Amino acid sequence: MDLPLPVLLSTGHLYAVTGAALVGLGLYAFITLRHPLRQLLAVNVVGAGIFLILGGLGRGPDATDPFPQALVITGIVVAVALTAFGAAMIVRQAQTRAAAKPAADDNENPAP
């Protein structure tokens, strides 16, 4: 397959634009989805999109820039740390809400 596209769109740009699309997709999901777990998922997609932009635009003709790569790795680790915390909070919130129904709440005010 030899499309004329590569002339217009380098590999780096392709991935970067994909990243941009992911960001948009994730944001749309973040806005329209209600459940926090799904929002967390959406955030992860946005994050992935951002990393892809970083990587794509660091894609030189011969090599990929190590600098953005390192940033992405750092970013991924931070993202997973936050996702873990977020997931834990979501679960704990559900637990306390469930506990609040029959018994007295021990950890928070009933959510508005």
Helix (H, G, I), strand (E, B), or coil: what is residue 35? coil
Query: Is 100 one of the binding residues for another protein (CB under 8 A)?
Result: no
Query: Is 3 one of the binding residues for another protein (CB under 8 A)?
Result: yes
Contacts of residue 46, defined as CB under 8 A and 6 or more positions apart, other chains included, come to 22, 23, 26, 27, 30
Strands (E), the chain: none
Residues 62-91 that bind another protein (CB under 8 A): 62-91
Residues 5-64 that bind another protein (CB under 8 A): 5-6, 10-48, 50-64
Query: Is 96 one of the binding residues for another protein (CB under 8 A)?
Result: yes
Q: What's the closest the beta carbon of residue 104 comes to another protein, in angstroms?
A: 12
- Extract the tokens encoding 109: 């005010």
